[in-house]
Amino acid sequence: MDELGLAEKTLFVFLSDNGPWLRKGTHGGLATPLREGKGTTWEGGHRVPAIMRWPGKIPANVTNEAMTTIMDLYPTIAGVVGADLPEDRVIDGKDIWPILSGQKGAKSPHDAFYYYYMTQLHAVRAGKWKLHLSLEQKLVRPGRRRPSKVALYDLENDPHERQNLAAQSAHKPVVDELRQRLLNLLFTADDVDLIAPRWVIPQYVCTEVAGRRGSEGEKEKEGADTLPSKKEGADTLPSKRRRSRRK
């Protein structure tokens, strides 16, 4: 780019769409010191390095650890070139140009980040805290599931995700706050299936969302595909699924 005289007219981006493929051995790469790699919702599977260069626009030799995503490239580049974003759909990415351009006080535009394995919601992160959900059938590989327990990690001091703090009473407010974010996400969605199919949502989430909707006077029609209500002995999730219709 320098030899062709295009460097100052080009935003250069180098990154990966996922962590290393550990099953490939030495050919798959390493995410050290992060845990696991591609195909997981541990940090080694989602957190990747990114290098961006644009002489005169992006300050050189600067490292920034603000939480950003590949989804942010679309609205960021659109903003740089002055293009309008479509208004007939939800754009998940955010404009991170203030971070890239080194603006003073620039922070991540994301209040929270949700970790999925395929269509299954596994974890949520807000700030330095990451909460892995308790799932009866956690999808670990296509066709393979196993139960998982709730886990809370301080990614600032424990990026390896080794010390589970969920059981410590001092961190109960953090667990409750992250759990509430999940509930709010599910409750405000037009169709809960678009966020996470109900067969993979923890039972306590289904129960509480159903309770909220019921308290607001929403009536369940007989035979409809609805969230389970608080009934004695209800310990399974409905198996019926609808096809996602994301706008």
pLDDT (0 to 100) of residue 215: 53
pLDDT (0 to 100) of residue 138: 79
C-alpha distances out from residue 212 to 189, 231, 233, Å: 13, 15, 20
What single letter denotes the amino acid at residue 225? D
| pLDDT tens-digit readout, 26-66 | 888 889 899 999 989 999 999 999 999 999 999 999 999 99
pLDDT band at residue 118 under the 50/70/90 scheme: confident
pLDDT (0 to 100) of residue 236: 34
| pLDDT tens-digit readout, 217-243 | 444 444 333 333 333 333 333 333 333
More confident residue, 188 or 22: 22
Please name which of 70, 112, 76 lies closest in space to residue 95, comparing C-alpha atoms.
76
Gap between the Cα atoms of 221 and 77, Å rounded: 46
Mean pLDDT score across all residues of the chain: 79
- Which residues, in sequence order, are CB contacts of 38 under 8 Å at separation 6+? 18, 19, 20, 21, 22, 28, 45
pLDDT greater than 80 at residue 208: no
pLDDT greater than 90 at residue 99: yes
More confident residue, 27 or 73: 73
pLDDT (0 to 100) of residue 162: 96
More confident residue, 129 or 184: 129
pLDDT (0 to 100) of residue 144: 78
pLDDT (0 to 100) of residue 8: 95
Specify the 3-state DSSP secondary structure of 126: strand
As a 3-state breakdown, the chain gives helix, strand, coil percent values, each rounded to 5, of 30, 15, 55
The 8 Å CB, 24+ separation contacts for 192-198 are: 192/227, 193/241, 193/242, 193/244, 194/244, 194/245, 194/246, 195/121, 196/116, 196/119, 196/120, 196/121, 197/119, 197/120, 197/241, 198/227, 198/237, 198/238, 198/241
pLDDT band at residue 140 under the 50/70/90 scheme: confident
Dihedrals phi, psi of 236, to nearest 5 degrees = -130, 160
More confident residue, 245 or 1: 1
How are beta strands 144-148 and 129-132 bridged, if at all?
unpaired
Gap between the Cα atoms of 19 and 40, Å rounded: 9
pLDDT greater than 50 at residue 203: no
Please name which of 164, 158, 201 lies closest in space to residue 179, comparing C-alpha atoms.
201
Dihedrals phi, psi of 17, to nearest 5 degrees = -90, -5
pLDDT band at residue 107 under the 50/70/90 scheme: very high
| pLDDT tens-digit readout, 143-163 | 778 778 899 999 999 999 999
Gap between the Cα atoms of 158 and 197, Å rounded: 31
| pLDDT tens-digit readout, 4-16 | 999 999 999 999 9
Total-model pTM:
0.74
For helices 172-188 and 203-215, angle between their N-to-C axes, nearest 10 degrees: 60
pLDDT (0 to 100) of residue 220: 43
Specify the 3-state DSSP secondary structure of 84: coil
